[in-house]
Amino acid sequence: MGRNRLKRVVINPRAEIWKAVRALRGGEFTHADVLDATRAVSGTAICAYFKCLVAAGIIEKTFDARQPGAASVYRLARDPGAETPRVRKDGTEVTEGRIYEAMWRTMKRLGAFTVAELALTASTDKTPVSDAAAKTYARTLKKAGLLRLLAADGPGNAPDRLLFVKARDLGPLPPRMRQRKHLWDPNSKKVIWPQVAP
């Protein structure tokens, strides 16, 4: 009799896979081990993410199964931490999430800022933040009520100053734009903008 799989939607399958990999990091593991640990993630998703993790040097094969019915064996080669590694098929890092993290931390630290100040202060050599990215993110957070426009205190052509609304601090994880259609809060795991009717 086949295993009874849970039927639920997994918002972030990679996060579930990574959690399982880290739980098994003391030894070696196979796709089946991770499938058992995650329950609601497909084998296809596990295979695809494993390829990305191998390319990034985060996990490595200790046994490469080439015969039907045999299972490849892996081990954790490098543990970057609890946060799910965001890597592409070629092993390169996806930096979009890091840009949100950098801007979110910077907004909270500065309190009040212009878009240019946000981009400049949040930028690092490894994670540059463009004015366009800062403008788009700030505009969306303003619509969601996380930022508000300060009264202009300079000449008419002075850049808008925005204020981080401390009462709307969602937590340590930055809200993320999903296809520029809505804003997702990973802390509460809810869409916070636009408001969804109950």
Q: What share of the chain has pLDDT > 70, as a percent?
A: 88
Q: What is the mean pLDDT of the chain?
A: 86
Fold of 96-170: Arc Repressor Mutant, subunit A (1.10.10)
Cα distance from N-terminal residue to C-terminal residue, the chain: 40
Give the residue with greater pLDDT, 89 vs 67. 89
Q: Which residues contact 138 (CB under 8 A, 6 or more apart)?
A: 103, 115, 118, 147, 162
Q: Is the dihedral of CA 176, 178, 179, 183 positive or negative?
A: negative
Q: Identify the pLDDT of residue 56.
A: 95
Cβ 127 vs Cβ 93: under 8 Å: no
| Rounded distance between C-alpha atoms, residue 70 and residue 141, angstroms | 50
In this structure, are strands 190-193 and 162-164 parallel, antiparallel, or unpaired?
Answer: unpaired
Q: Is residue 196 predicted with pLDDT exceeding 90?
A: no
DSSP conformation class of 156: T
pTM > 0.75: no
Top CATH class, 1-94: mainly alpha
pLDDT in tens, 99-145: 999 999 999 999 999 999 999 999 998 889 999 999 999 999 999 99
Residue of 174, 150, 157, 180 whose CA lies nearest to 99 = 174
Q: Which sequence spans correspond to the domains of the chain?
A: 1-94, 96-170
pLDDT-derived band at 148 (thresholds 50, 70, 90) equals very high
